[in-house]
Structure 1
Amino acid sequence: MRIPPYYRLPTWQRFLAGMVLGGAISWMVFLFMFGVLQEEQTKTIEEQKDTIENIKKDLSIWQDEYKKLNKDNQKKLLIQDIKVKILNPEEYKVELLSIHETEDTITEDLRSLLTKDLESVYKNKDLIKKTIEKQTINLNDKRYQLKVKEMYIYTSMEIYLELKIAS
């Protein structure tokens, strides 16, 4: 087989040269456009990575500061209010006025705990409990002792007491 002699005809030579030249130019344009787009995408990705890194660093700093402030604030929590409640005055038929006065007296006795930090009050809760239970109270010409049923210690200290006849 023989190749036809088109290479000798100038019209075919121009056509083939135009195809080769057009293919080369289109390839160059494609490479340029693809390169520019990839460069923009790479730049965007790098900027996003830097932004994420900075945000993570800021977040860790904020979290550390937040944890530190919380610890400091917990150490500084103070007793701000004391509430005393006697649970069973009906059992011994004691007047409500006497019960209220007794609650006020115990609250006044514990007034020194106000503005103390929670940790020190919690460490001394047994002493507080014994101090309350050692007291004898005269109500309606009878002697009663108090028994601590529940004690909640936070910024507001709540103590729930029960009456029992002193022995």
Structure 2
Amino acid sequence: MDEQIQRGQKWLETLLKLMGVPANVNLNRIEQDRNQVISCWLTIDETPFDLTQIEALTGKKGETIDAIQYLANALLNIGVDEYSHRFFTVELNGYRLRRQAELMAIAQRAAEKVRITGVPEEIRYLSSVERRQIHSMLEKSPDLLTESQGSEPDRRLVVKLRHPI
């Protein structure tokens, strides 16, 4: 297994212990590009947690788990050459999978509306990670473009026709 991914697993287990909620972290969904690991999911075992602890670790609108994921990606890639960077997704109790399904539905609705009306559609209240996910979901659409506009905390994603009517 990739040394950096093992560091990620150990780092997250240590963080959880320091937070007073020790848990095992499993490695799931390791993604590769040309036989090189580029990302993996660090899944927190929720077995020892009650609902209150799960909600606290997830946070309102995923803010806490997003912050943990941000820290993992920032800290674990310090001093690593850019070709060896890993992207870590932190998962707990199926939150990321549910949110990905929600984001896919949001992206599809926006794309459909733009295709029907020809009017750009703004999607608000997304984290930077979520905006990036929707960019990725729609990037292969030959008729659509996405771009982020504005500045935090009011940054939003805009879906528009590649060639306006």
TM-based fold match above 0.5: no
Higher helix fraction: Structure 1 or Structure 2?
A: 1
More strand by share: 2
TM-score norm. by structure 2 comes to 0.26
* TM-score under structure 1 length normalisation: 0.26
Larger radius of gyration: 1
